[in-house]
Amino acid sequence: MPETFAVWMRLLREVEDSVLWLSGMNAPARDNLKSEATKCGVGADRIVFAQFLPDPADHLARLRVADLFLDTLPHNAHTTTTDALWLACPS
């Protein structure tokens, strides 16, 4: 969704020291997103990919370090949204 990505990039440009934290992806997808971020004036290092963690406790612990959780339409985060809300992560 180009519109959603454009919003993410605008937020990254406007919020100093922010990062976009996404679920791990295959290498071509990671490379494409980082390339597009650079084209939008956002450093590729501000796109962070979190790998799958098989232990749910590790996943929840990782979510606790987020400052803000954003869900997007039309493809919602489903269980991850529930996890973030349960952990009282600001949204």
Q: How far apart are the first and last CA of the chain?
A: 21
pLDDT-derived band at 84, boundaries 50, 70, 90: confident
pLDDT of residue 49: 94
pLDDT-derived band at 67, boundaries 50, 70, 90: confident
More confidently predicted of 76 and 17: 17
Q: Delimit the domains of the chain by residue range.
A: 1-52, 53-91
Please state, in angstroms and as integers, the Cα–Cα distance from residue 42 to each residue in 61, 77, 80, 89, following that order: 27, 23, 25, 25
Mean pLDDT of the residues in the chain: 88
Q: Does residue 91 surpass a pLDDT of 70?
A: no
Q: Does residue 34 surpass a pLDDT of 70?
A: yes
